[in-house]
Copies of this chain bind each other. A is one copy, B any other.
Amino acid sequence: MTGWVKIAGLGPGNEALVTPEVTAALAEATDIVGYIPYVARVAERPGLTLHPSDNRVEIDRSQHALEMASEGKRVVVVSSGDPGVFAMASAVYEAVDNGPSAWRNLDIQVLPGITAMLAAAARVGAPLGHDFCTINLSDNLKPWEVIENRLRLAAQADFAMAFYNPRAKSRPGKFERTLEILREECEPERLIIFARAVSRADEAVRISTLADATPEMADMQTMVIVGSSLTRTIDRDGDPIVYTPRFITKAEG
């Protein structure tokens, strides 16, 4: 049997957002590796071994997947969202890069998924419909100064911004600091969206402005999207629509 590793994106949580490609990989797998809540989304069946692991052991988990594939197993590494966006794909390749040379020629594939920022954007309208940037606000893996510099340059470029991992108990002041930087660089009316658990039963979406936003509006499960200077709302019954026009210099109707 020839082993392989498929690093698969399960999307934001709703099964209707899992691609058929990922579903087929899960059906062919002998072993599933991943963070506990993502592995819990895979149904048990004869011939399939589940290997749930804790958060923050991404390299151990990756090495385990690569070792099993070397032995001929068909291993799916499950990620939420898209594996290439602040998820397991880079971790697996870091393990390959620093591992035995035989791992380089293993059959390793990334199967894309619906990443959280695009599910969140879809829910409120089209806030990422023009140029944007995507920043992981966690400073576990990079200096905070890098994040602060990127926030300021992104605001100066007038990108819309999508933030992953905005707030953790271990760094409570950092999201407050993020809001301060954005208020220094942008106007108070700038739109900011807090989208928690999009597509899941406990989904909660809040549309605010930099003037009104508070750090408590985000937790580690929240996707935060900040509009560009052109992002606007359309009022209607219920929550407004939020979108960024495709045009910079003119409106078209």
Q: Which residues of A contact B (CB under 8 A)?
A: 11, 14-21, 24, 58-59, 82-86, 89-99, 104-105, 108-115, 118-119, 121-123, 125-136, 141-143, 146, 149-150, 153-154, 156-159, 232, 234-237, 241, 243-249, 251-253
A16, B156: Cα distance in complex, Å: 39
A24 to chain B: closest residue by CB: B16
Answer whether A131 and B104 are a contact pair too, CB < 8 Å, given A84-B122, A234-B97: no
Chain B, residue nearest A12 (CB) = B112
Query: Does A110 contact B84, Cβ atoms closer than 8 Å?
Result: no
Other than the known A85-B118, A105-B237, what 6 A-B pairs have Cβ atoms closer than 8 Å?
A83-B122, A84-B121, A97-B232, A146-B158, A153-B154, A157-B157
- Assembled-state Cα–Cα distance A145/B121 (Å): 27
Q: List, sorted by A's number, 14 A–B pairs whose CB atoms are closer than 8 Å.
A: A19-B19, A89-B125, A91-B246, A94-B246, A97-B234, A97-B253, A98-B253, A104-B235, A110-B122, A110-B123, A111-B122, A112-B119, A131-B136, A132-B133
Main secondary structure of the interface of A (DSSP, over half): mixed
Whole-angstrom distance between the alpha carbons of A16 and B22 in the complex? Answer: 8
> With A and B bound together, what is the CA distance between A89 and B246 in angstroms?
10
Nearest-Cβ distance from residue A42 to partner chain B, whole angstroms: 16
Judging by beta carbons under 8 Å apart, are B17 and A251 in contact? Answer: no
A113 contact set on B, CB distance < 8 A: 114
The CA-CA distance from A163 to B180 in the complex, in Å, is 30
CA of A27 to CA of B18, assembled, Å? 18
Residue in B58, B129, B159 whose beta carbon sits within 8 Å of that of A90 in the complex: B129
User: Which of B11, B89, B141, B149 contacts A126 (CB under 8 A)?
Assistant: B89
Contacts of A244 in B (CB 8 A): 90
Taken together as a complex, chains A and B put the C-alpha atoms of A81 and B200 apart, in Å, by: 22
Once the chains are docked, how many angstroms separate the CA of A68 from the CA of B77? 44
Residue of B nearest to A250 (CB): B141
Contact, CB under 8 Å: A118 / B112: yes
- Assess the B248–A146 pair: CB atoms within 8 A: yes
